Amino acid sequence: MMLLHDVLQWLIGPFQEFSFMRRALVATLALSFSSAPLGVLLTLRRMSLFGDALSHAVLPGVAAGFIFFGLSLPALSIGGFIAGVIVVTLAGLVSRHTELKEDASLAAVYVVALALGVILISGHGTQLDLLHILFGNVLGVDTQGLLLVAGVSSLSVVLIAALYRGLLLESFDPSFLAASGGRGTLYQQLFLMLVVMNLVASFQTLGTLMAVGLMMLPAVSSRLWHDSLPAQLLNSALQAALAGYAGLMFSYYASVPSGPVIIVCAGGLYFLSLMFAPRGWLPRLLRRPHLRA
Amino acid sequence: MSAAITLENLTVTYRRHPALHHVSGEFALGSLTAIVGPNGAGKSTLLKSIMGQVRCNSGRVVKHADAGRIAFLPQQAEIDRSFPIAVLDCVMLGYWGRAGLFRRISVAMVQRAEQALAAVGLEGFAQRSISSLSVGQFQRVLFARILLQDARLILLDEPFSAVDTKTTEDLLRIIQSWHTQQRTVIAVLHDYDQVRRAFPQTLLLARNVVAWGATEQVLCHDNLHRARTMSEAVDEHAPLCAVDVASLAAVAAQGQTS
């Protein structure tokens, strides 16, 4: 009985004791439920690296916000969101009106944006500011930041649910959607806006470079577990939440930066999935007798 | 007979080289037409320009109002078959035009989808994931989806490539049933015998229209020879094409008198 009590205390103690831990937990859980499903949809469109590119692309906007308003969360977020939207729109325009495909046009636009961002920050801030923006600080989430994260993830979950059929059809068979009178580019652009919003919302907690980890790692590993999309979406959100919780605990007890630890935990789950999930490596080694033809 | 689709002097180019060159003519309402011709003759481009997926360089495609909804089956390579979706769900995407984002899929609609699966010979496949299907089975699924779309105009781009004879016969029967239901069907095909057996109308294409009309007249030795001699390589130093409007009008007038 004592032991059970101790374990429980160990598991929830940090959150009982410190309000910054509670806020961090709520923020990562909220992000888990919106980012990870978006990540699954990204992998379905074979755009797994897209989130990575976008997370770099928001940097000049964040930098501009930083230059004019200092380390103020709304300024940084709005700046980042605007930069992300501009990059997505530009890349979309380039791919629609020239012969470049979407990934190529995005690859071209985002490196320019990243370079601009680094120039802006290095001209106006210190190295520490740059580190803060790149890697975030989940333990410094204030009420304002929490509201932003909660708002973004609520909006994302509601929109994913409302647009579910369209999003699915647009990534599965875009030419069928176009042929049946659906507006494919509308769904695509809305979807990419959601991705930008989630990356921006998570950059304060995880940093621009780490934000994409919570989006893509659970998404990729969830594909190893299930054949159906709803199951994959749910699985990815749960894995992200688990990684977020475990990461916060580990960072608390070992006193290491929380953002990277959360991502490493997600990476650990990815490794376990690779090994033990039904579509992973170990089940392939089991030679089960085949069925009758 | 009134037309479902009229092509008026349609030219589509890729980097200024025509893939379709001054194509004029019409697909009659309720007709069953095969489009044949060598590789690179512009067959798929013609379907895509009817769907509005490629830009016409000059001329236009007129879709007549009573042509109704259009169903389009593109070449299979364009669909990702590793997508995590069940066969029945994939078939029910055919309801998109009517159900959209929010409208409910009723029990009757699900039953109709199951009937469509049975009609293409895939009973018992409803809950399987599409990644477990063979190419031919997946083509049957796409036909079932078209059945649910209930379109008046159906465009099929090489529906029988990489499909075995049994499946081809089954799918051909479905095409025949569409024809008897007065739907307009246009299919890109390669097998001349199949076209002679099942398709009353044929358009023989080699960037230009070689011949267009009743199948047995179109697929004569002379026409096929002319289509074969179309050079697949584009001439990098081709001069500008100058077909003036007056001569086109003259051609059109000839067509009406004959």
pLDDT tens by residue, B142-181:
989 998 888 888 999 988 887 888 888 888 999 999 999 9
Q: For residue B160, give every residue at least 6 positions away whose Cβ sits within 8 Å of its Cβ, in sequence order, or none.
A: B139, B167, B168, B171, B189, B191, B194
Residue B52: is its pLDDT beyond 50? yes
Strand partners, B25: B7
In this prediction, residues A249-277 reach a mean pLDDT of 90
d(CA A11, CA A29): 16
Q: For residue A195, give every residue at least 6 positions away whose Cβ sits within 8 Å of its Cβ, in sequence order, or none.
A: A38, A42, A50, A51, A54, A215
Instruction: Give the pLDDT of residue A150.
Output: 92
Residue A148: is its pLDDT beyond 50? yes
Helices within A207-228 (DSSP H only)? 211-222
Instruction: Give the pLDDT of residue A144.
Output: 82
Scored b (16 or more CB within 10 A) or e, B62-91 reads ebeeebbebbbbbebeebebebbbbbbbbb
Helices within chain A (DSSP H only)? 2-17, 19-44, 50-57, 59-69, 73-97, 102-124, 127-135, 143-162, 164-172, 174-179, 184-206, 211-222, 229-254, 258-276, 282-285
Residue B249: is its pLDDT beyond 70? no
Q: Are B203 and B5 in contact (CB under 8 A)?
A: no
Percent of chain A at pLDDT exceeding 90: 27
Q: Are B43 and B51 in contact (CB under 8 A)?
A: no
Question: Which of A165, A167, A223 should we substitute to test contact with B (largest number of B Cβ atoms within 10 Å)?
Answer: A165
The model's pTM:
0.83
| CA nearest to A203, candidates A12, A48, A29, A27 | A27
| CA nearest to A197, candidates A54, A28, A44 | A54
- Cβ-defined contact of B84 to A165 (cutoff 8 Å): no
pLDDT tens for each residue of A154-163? 999 999 999 9
Nearest CA distance, A102 vs chain B (angstrom): 16
Indicate the pLDDT class of residue A139, thresholds 50, 70 and 90: low
Nearest CA distance, A169 vs chain B (angstrom): 8
- Cβ-defined contact of B101 to A162 (cutoff 8 Å): yes
Tokens of B147: 């059945």
Helices within B23-99 (DSSP H only)? 43-50, 87-92, 96-99
Percent of chain B at pLDDT exceeding 90: 14
Which of A44, A180, A228 comes nearest B97 by C-beta? Answer: A180
Mean of the per-residue pLDDT values for chain B? 83
Nearest-10 crossing angle of helices A73-97, A143-162:
30
Residue A2: is its pLDDT beyond 80? no
Which residues in chain A touch residue B102, judged by CB atoms under 8 angstroms apart? 162
Instruction: Give the pLDDT of residue A39.
Output: 94
Question: Which of B101, B103, B132 should we substitute to test contact with A (largest number of A Cβ atoms within 10 Å)?
Answer: B101
- Cβ-defined contact of A175 to B97 (cutoff 8 Å): no
Percent of chain A at pLDDT exceeding 70: 94
Name the CATH architecture for the domain at A16-208: Orthogonal Bundle (1.10)
Q: For residue A174, give every residue at least 6 positions away whose Cβ sits within 8 Å of its Cβ, in sequence order, or none.
A: A184
Which residues in chain A touch residue B101, judged by CB atoms under 8 angstroms apart? 162-166
Residue B257: is its pLDDT beyond 80? no
Class level of CATH domain B1-68+152-167+182-258: alpha beta
Instruction: Give the pLDDT of residue B62.
Output: 83
- Cβ-defined contact of B101 to A46 (cutoff 8 Å): no
Q: pLDDT higher for A233 or A252? A: A233
- Cβ-defined contact of A176 to B93 (cutoff 8 Å): yes
Residue A229: is its pLDDT beyond 70? yes
Tell me which of A266-280, B83-97, B221-235 is least confident. Answer: B221-235
Which residues in chain A touch residue B83, judged by CB atoms under 8 angstroms apart? 44, 171-172
In this prediction, residues B192-199 reach a mean pLDDT of 89
- Cβ-defined contact of A181 to B97 (cutoff 8 Å): yes
Task: Give residue limits of the domains in chain A.
Answer: 16-208
In this prediction, residues B194-199 reach a mean pLDDT of 90
In this prediction, residues A159-170 reach a mean pLDDT of 91
| CA nearest to B144, candidates B164, B132, B159 | B159
Residue B91: is its pLDDT beyond 80? yes
Which residues in chain B touch residue A178, judged by CB atoms under 8 angstroms apart? 51, 53
| CA nearest to B37, candidates B213, B175, B209, B234 | B209
Residue B105: is its pLDDT beyond 80? yes
Instruction: Scan for tokens 């680094």, then name that residue.
Output: A118
Nearest CA distance, B19 vs chain A (angstrom): 17
Residue B103: is its pLDDT beyond 80? yes
Which of A162, A163, A179 comes nearest B72 by C-beta? Answer: A179
Instruction: Give the pLDDT of residue B35.
Output: 92
CATH 3.40.50.300 domain extents, chain B: 1-68+152-167+182-258
Which residues in chain A touch residue B109, judged by CB atoms under 8 angstroms apart? none
In this prediction, residues B37-43 reach a mean pLDDT of 86
Instruction: Give the pLDDT of residue B244.
Output: 54
- Cβ-defined contact of A169 to B51 (cutoff 8 Å): no
C-beta pairs of A227-236 under 8 Å, 24+ apart in sequence: A227/B84, A227/B129, A227/B131, A228/B84, A228/B85, A228/B86, A228/B129, A229/A40, A229/A44, A229/A168, A229/B84, A229/B85, A232/A40, A232/B84, A233/A36, A233/A37, A233/A40, A236/A36, A236/A37, A236/A39, A236/A40
Instruction: Give the pLDDT of residue B258.
Output: 44
In this prediction, residues A255-280 reach a mean pLDDT of 90
Q: What is the secondary structure of B109-141 as a DSSP string?
A: HHHHHHHHHHHTT-TT-TTSBGGGS-HHHHHHH
pLDDT tens for each residue of A60-119? 888 888 788 877 777 888 888 898 888 888 887 887 777 777 778 888 888 888 888 878
Indicate the pLDDT class of residue B19, thresholds 50, 70 and 90: confident
- Cβ-defined contact of B101 to A166 (cutoff 8 Å): yes
pLDDT tens for each residue of A180-199? 776 778 888 889 899 999 98
- Cβ-defined contact of B80 to A162 (cutoff 8 Å): no
Whole-number CA gyration radius for chain B: 20
Instruction: Give the pLDDT of residue B76.
Output: 67
Residue B35 corresponds to which amino acid? Answer: I
Indicate the pLDDT class of residue B39, thresholds 50, 70 and 90: confident
Mean of the per-residue pLDDT values for chain A? 85
Indicate the pLDDT class of residue B186, thresholds 50, 70 and 90: very high
Which of B53, B96, B99 comes nearest A175 by C-beta? Answer: B53
CB contacts < 8 Å between A and B, how many? 59
Is residue B246 classed exposed, middle or buried when 0-12, 13-18 and 19+ CB atoms within 10 A define those classes? exposed
- Cβ-defined contact of A179 to B78 (cutoff 8 Å): no
ipTM over 0.90: no
Q: Are B91 and B117 in contact (CB under 8 A)?
A: yes
Which residues in chain B touch residue A172, judged by CB atoms under 8 angstroms apart? 79-80, 83, 85, 90, 93
Whole-number CA gyration radius for chain A: 20
Instruction: Give the pLDDT of residue A33.
Output: 94
